[in-house]
Amino acid sequence: MSVRGQVKQTFTRFQSSSSSDPSEDPDDRFRYFTSGVLPSLSRTHKAAAATAENEGAGILLFVPTYHDFVRLRNFFSSDPRCAHLSFGSISEYSDATEVRRARSYFYTGKNDVLIVSGRAHHFRRYLNMQGTKRVLFYSVPENAEWYKEAVGWLEGAVARGGEVSVRCLFSRWEVLALERVVGSARVAKMIRQGREDVFEFR
């Protein structure tokens, strides 16, 4: 079940370093994530840790491509900037035991972040991901249904009256995927280069 319409969805455009070569996009995206997004994840972690319940930050990081998934998993496991963020991961190569452990640790708050690859969701088609309070799309999913279904994982938190959010990173090279998610009327403005780079919808 989708909860679109009840949740504020923020789309953040990062600047591509090349106007003609999309091959630079993965590195541009990673730099933006580590410098512009990671600090907000740290703040979310600190706020969750300060609560009496200490239920975990509930950050679901949805990573459509396996290459980016591996890069982020390695980053979270080795970079000192992530030392305070406990995390788990689920990819298309995770066995059933690994999946159960990752989901359990996320639900109980033992892990603040759960990194999920797009193809893991494609093959397993998770209907629920308990513990999700914030969904962060590392890039726009090619399949718009993945976007809707991942946003739907917030249903439990919404029902409990908790604070939830959705954020999706995108670049100028993701026009078609973005159009499938936000519609034709919005995509032209969102891709156009200019001063505005954050767009919010409900």
Q: What is the CATH number of the domain that holds 166?
A: 3.40.50.300
In a domain, 142, yes or no: yes
In a domain, 195, yes or no: yes
In a domain, 66, yes or no: yes
In a domain, 19, yes or no: no
71-80 pLDDT per residue, tens? 999 999 999 9
User: Residue 2: its pLDDT value, please?
Assistant: 46
H helices within the chain, ranges in order?
25-32, 38-49, 66-78, 96-107, 118-124, 144-152, 155-159, 175-182, 184-191
Task: Decide which of 168 and 42 is more confident.
Answer: 168
Q: How far from 30 is each of 84, 153, 157, 179, CA to CA, in Å?
A: 19, 25, 29, 22
DSSP result, 150-198: HHHTTHHHHHTT---EEEEEE-GGGHHHHHHHH-HHHHHHHHS-SS--E
In a domain, 1, yes or no: no
Residues 6+ apart with CB under 8 A from 182: 11, 190, 201
CA-based Rg of the chain, rounded to a whole angstrom? 16
In a domain, 4, yes or no: no
In a domain, 161, yes or no: yes
What's the full length of the chain, in residues? 202
Instruction: In whole angstroms, give the CA distance from residue 50 to residue 125.
Output: 33
Q: Which residues of 41-65 are buried (b: 16+ CB within 10 A; e: fewer)?
A: bbebbeebeeeeeeebbbbbbbbbb
Task: Decide which of 122 and 51 is more confident.
Answer: 122
Which residues constitute the domain of residue 105? 9-13+24-201
Instruction: In whole angstroms, give the CA distance from residue 91 to residue 99.
Output: 9
Instruction: Classify residue 180 by burial, with Cβ atoms within 10 Å: 0-12, 13-18, 19+.
Output: middle
Q: How high does pLDDT run on average in the chain? A: 90
Residue 3: is its pLDDT beyond 60? no
User: Residue 25: its pLDDT value, please?
Assistant: 94
Give the SS3 label for residue 23. helix
* pTM for this model (two decimals): 0.92
Residue 52: is its pLDDT beyond 60? no
Residue 1: pLDDT band (50, 70, 90) is: very low
Residue 179: is its pLDDT beyond 60? yes
* Total domains in the fold of the chain: 1
Instruction: In whole angstroms, give the CA distance from residue 105 to residue 114.
Output: 9
Amino acid letter, 14: F
- Name the DSSP letter for residue 7: B
The token duo for 158 is: 């919404």
Task: Decide which of 63 and 5 is more confident.
Answer: 63
In a domain, 2, yes or no: no
144-175 pLDDT per residue, tens? 999 999 999 998 888 888 889 999 999 999 99
